[in-house]
Amino acid sequence: MTPLPSSAPCWDLFCAVVDNFGDIGVCWRLARQLAVEHGIAVRLWVDDLAAARRLAPEIDPTRDVQHLDGVEIRRWTAPLPEIEPGAVVIGAFACALPDAFVEAMARRAPRPVWINLEYLSAEDWVSGCHGLPSPHPRLPLRQHFFFPGFDGASGGLLREADYAARRAGFEAERFWSTLDLALPTSDELRVSLFAYESPALGELLEGWQRGPAPVTCLVPEGRVLPGVAAHFGLRDLRPGDRLQRGALTIQVLPFVAQQHYDALLWACDLNFVRGEDSFVRAQWAERPFVWQIYVQQDDAHLEKLDAFLARFCVGLDGGTAQALGSFWRAWNRGRGVAAAWPAFRDALPALAHHAQTWSATIRGAGDLAGNLVQFCKDAIE
């Protein structure tokens, strides 16, 4: 990838934390990749450094300015300190930039490339909107919509250049030993559960508990953990706790820092993920997964879920596709998971093979960070 002109002082990336870790997860991953792989000086503005610290424990939420992994991390305050905008300004997920900063962008010469980094969606309309400009109503500025996506008509998905090498060097036996777990038995299912609260949780755990084969469920500390504790009649669960009920073993993990999350996905037979960042990582992991999409008004999220299923199920036989769709919809609607689980469990071997094919398919869209750098380079030149 050709680097941007050296005269560019930096890129500014603004992140308003809305969904706990989804927004900052994408922004932190993007900022690190731009710095490490493309040599770009990135200023990451974050309005909730405590949330950022969960993903990168080295972050100090009490400091207004700090540096980590080549990224300058700044607290997004109101008002924002007076500062010259960088050559590229990215507002993640339609967050509103401070008015004074936007006015400073208009005064800068040359004016910055302004990017609105949108949410990931598999809907057909994305390809027609990706890259489109939108002029500011009163200032001599325009922003471009940049959509992550699953094909070449989009911006692609975040994937680090060293991902394949790290994946190839992963040692499952060593990973399980760090959790004081033996290697899984031939009939055992190892599952990671990273999820929002769900009314279907108890039904799912009960089914695993009474099932015919052992299930070991790894639950990172997070929003779903109180529901797991309540199901077993406990006030709380903490990292390191282990429970066994019938065929089900629950292992509680500390919240997994972003740089270590991939290993959990690689190790498990099935991964429950949520939001956007973990959703993308599950696809690169080439393992069967279940996506819990962020809830929107009027069930708009279910349309997005169906749009992804329509793409993802291409190449699957009818029975496997039906089992996948039925279980995903039951999990997202909060009911019917017990009835949908047996067929989905039987489909896991076919889905494991399909996950490898899908990963190769979406690699064809390119890496989002690299695509973004090229888009901005073309705009600057």
Question: What tokens does 17 get?
Answer: 């934390």
What gap in Å lies between CA 258 and CA 210, rounded to an integer?
A: 33
Q: Which of 69, 88, 18, 86 is nearest to 46 (CA)?
A: 18
What gap in Å lies between CA 127 and CA 21, rounded to an integer?
A: 26
CB-count burial class (<10 Å; 0-12, 13-18, 19+) for 145:
middle
What gap in Å lies between CA 86 and CA 9, rounded to an integer?
A: 6
What gap in Å lies between CA 11 and CA 26, rounded to an integer?
A: 16
Residue 299 vs residues 201, 294, 303, 333, 365: alpha-carbon distances, Å: 20, 10, 7, 9, 28
276 is catalytic: yes
Q: Which of 56, 50, 1 is nearest to 277 (CA)?
A: 56
- E-state strands within the chain: 11-15, 42-46, 65-68, 71-75, 88-92, 113-117, 133-135, 142-146, 189-193, 215-220, 242-245, 248-253, 270-274, 289-292
φ/ψ of 159, rounded to 5, equals: -155, 120
- Is the dihedral angle over the CA atoms 151, 152, 154, 156 positive or is it negative? positive
- Compute CA 186 distance to the chain's CA centroid, rounded to the nearest angstrom: 30
Q: From the candidates 23, 118, 262, 277, which is the catalytic residue? A: 23
82 is catalytic: no
Q: From the candidates 203, 262, 276, 277, which is the catalytic residue? A: 276
Catalytic sites, residue numbers: 23, 276
